């Protein structure tokens, strides 16, 4: 699988994403030719190489007289945008010569944008007006990202957590907190962090593109990078104001060739009781945290959606004893689990990898016992049925009846084994 990982070092905007895609090998002439089929006129595409804090990057800009980024408009004046409605933007997309897939992705981005704008302004989606993101350059930004993904044969788009700037931003309706309301709505549910910059770091357009088309936000994929591109923003920050995109093939094991699991569910396990799926393994090495804090860290990591968590003793540099904090989580909540691990421990980083597992089909059932209803987990393999007690129910009964765990468990096991 071809995968693209977007790393928002200095943030992201539509033109920064386009610059990074071009720097990574997307043909700029083919992108422009496809954009010329969109029924909006009067624009030119400017490109130049720039250096941001020592990093050479591609800077691209759509120039539209009278709109945002026009040379005669103030640098941060967002008030010249057109204010198109969703149906007007979708009509422009539909009348273009983009491919069916490109149109579909662009429509998805704008529908998500409309939903965010409608929620912020308290209006129906079909009556929401796009201001900055309805401008011609924003339409071109969204379309160019969809075109570039096709040209680079990207099958999966992923991205880092989103950096958020500080201060306020001048927009159509006045000055807004950073990030502005529509951007904040788009970033709801995805990992963000304080970027430490006074200014806008992620534009509404970029947030819409990445949260709509991206998967596993906040999780760096296991991949073999073959192309790397940098797209530059206009501002100069103390950090490199660039977006980096790495493009390559997914590698499901970190050290070697891509792991392809044999289809054991169809061969060795002919009974069909075993299936396969992919999960995210998260780990952190911790050598500077009080042991008392681990109980709550484990609890909240499980609450964030992890399947399982564990601690293991390890030895780090200088023979320093430490603890390995690990978790296994579904791919769609891996970012949330990583956030819990970062928040509840002293670690500065959580490494992740995607792994494949074999899973027995299981079913939760209720068993009538002398203690009342008790949940059991039932599974089978090669025709052999397995039934196990739910630990939480055994512990609950032991507490309620003031009995030892062993006595309760033995009584329930006898019920389980009864014909």
- Comparing 389 with 313, the larger pLDDT belongs to 313
**Residues linked to residue 369 through DSSP beta bridges, in sequence order:** 372
Interatomic CA distance for residues 205 and 18, integer angstroms: 12
Beta strands in 238-307 (DSSP E): 242-250, 274-286
Residue 385 has pLDDT above 80, yes or no: no
- What band does 135 get if pLDDT is binned at 50, 70 and 90? confident
Task: Give the model's pLDDT for residue 80.
Answer: 38
Q: Give residue 120's pLDDT band: very low, low, confident or very high (50, 70, 90).
A: confident
The residue that leads in pLDDT, 18 or 390, is 18
Q: Percent of the chain beyond pLDDT 90? A: 47
pLDDT band at 182 (very low <50, low <70, confident <90, very high): confident
Closest CA to 17 of 215, 178, 224, 157: 157
Q: Look up residue 38 and give its two tokens.
A: 């969109």
- Domain spans in the chain, listed from the N-terminal domain onward: 2-250, 274-360, 362-417
φ/ψ of residue 265, rounded to 5? -60, -25
The pair of three-digit structure tokens given for residue 357, joined into one six-digit string:
């597992």
Strand partners, 322: 314
Q: Is 122 exposed, middle or buried (0-12, 13-18, 19+ CB in 10 A)?
A: exposed
Q: How far is 314 from 322, CA to CA, in rounded Å?
A: 5
The tens digit of pLDDT for each residue in 350-374 reads 888 888 888 777 778 888 888 888 8
CB within 8 Å of 330: residues ≥ 6 apart: 279, 280, 305, 307
pLDDT of residue 24: 95
Q: Does domain 274-360 have CATH number 3.30.70.1380?
A: yes
How far is Cα 383 from Cα 391, in angstroms, rounded to an integer?
Answer: 25
Q: How far is CA 368 from CA 138, 265, 371, 413, 418, in A?
A: 62, 33, 8, 12, 12
Residue that has been written with the tokens 């507490």 in this structure:
399
Tokens of 58: 């591609």
Q: Is the pTM of this model over 0.75?
A: no
* Mean pLDDT, the chain, integer: 84
**CA neighbours within 13 Å on the CB side: how many for 272?**
0
Residues 65-99 pLDDT 10s: 876 443 333 333 333 344 678 888 899 999 999 99
Q: In angstroms, rounded to a whole number, what is the distance separating the alpha carbons of residues 32 and 34?
A: 5
Q: How confident is the model at residue 393 (pLDDT cuts 50, 70, 90)?
A: confident
pLDDT digits (tens, 9 = 90+) for 221-268: 888 899 999 999 999 999 999 999 999 988 754 444 334 444 444 445
State how far the Cα of 202 lies from the Cα of 189, in Å rounded to an integer.
Answer: 16
């Amino acid at each position: 699988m071809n995968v693209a990982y977007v790393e928002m070092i200095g943030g992201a905007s539509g033109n920064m994403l386009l610059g990074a895609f071009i720097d990574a090998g997307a043909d700029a002439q083919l992108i422009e030719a496809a954009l010329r089929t969109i029924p909006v006129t009067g624009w030119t595409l400017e490109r130049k190489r720039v250096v941001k804090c020592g990093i050479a990057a591609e800077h691209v800009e759509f120039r539209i007289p009278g709109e945002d980024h026009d040379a005669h408009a103030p640098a941060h004046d967002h008030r010249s945008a057109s204010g198109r409605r969703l149906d007007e933007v979708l009509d422009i997309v539909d009348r273009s010569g983009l491919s069916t897939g490109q149109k579909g992705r662009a429509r998805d981005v704008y529908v998500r944008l409309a939903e965010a704008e409608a929620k912020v302004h308290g209006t129906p989606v079909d009556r929401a007006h796009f201001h900055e993101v309805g401008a011609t350059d924003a339409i071109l930004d969204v379309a160019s990202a969809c075109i570039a993904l096709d040209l680079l044969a990207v099958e999966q788009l992923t991205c880092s957590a989103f950096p958020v700037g500080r201060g306020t931003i001048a927009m159509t309706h006045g000055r807004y907190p950073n990030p502005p309301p529509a951007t904040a709505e788009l970033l709801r549910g995805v990992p963000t962090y304080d970027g430490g910059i006074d200014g806008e770091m992620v534009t509404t357009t970029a947030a819409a593109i990445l949260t709509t088309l991206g998967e596993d936000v906040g999780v760096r994929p296991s991949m073999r990078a073959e192309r790397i591109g940098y797209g530059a923003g206009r501002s100069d920050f103390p950090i490199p104001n660039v977006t980096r995109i790495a493009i390559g093939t997914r590698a499901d094991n970190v050290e070697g060739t891509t792991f392809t699991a044999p289809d054991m569910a169809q061969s060795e396990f002919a009974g069909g009781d075993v299936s396969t799926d992919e999960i995210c393994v998260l780990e952190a090495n911790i050598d500077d945290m009080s042991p008392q804090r681990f109980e709550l860290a484990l609890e909240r990591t499980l609450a964030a959606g992890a399947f399982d968590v564990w601690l293991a003793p390890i030895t780090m540099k200088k023979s320093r004893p430490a603890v390995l904090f690990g978790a296994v989580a579904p791919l769609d909540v891996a970012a949330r689990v990583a956030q819990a691990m970062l928040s509840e421990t002293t670690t500065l980083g959580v490494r992740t990898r995607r792994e494949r597992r074999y899973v027995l089909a299981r079913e939760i059932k209720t068993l009538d016992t002398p203690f009342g209803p008790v949940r059991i987990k039932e599974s089978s393999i090669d025709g052999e049925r397995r039934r196990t007690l739910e630990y939480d129910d055994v512990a609950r009964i032991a507490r309620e009846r003031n009995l030892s765990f062993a006595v309760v468990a033995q009584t329930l096991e006898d019920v389980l084994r009864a014909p």
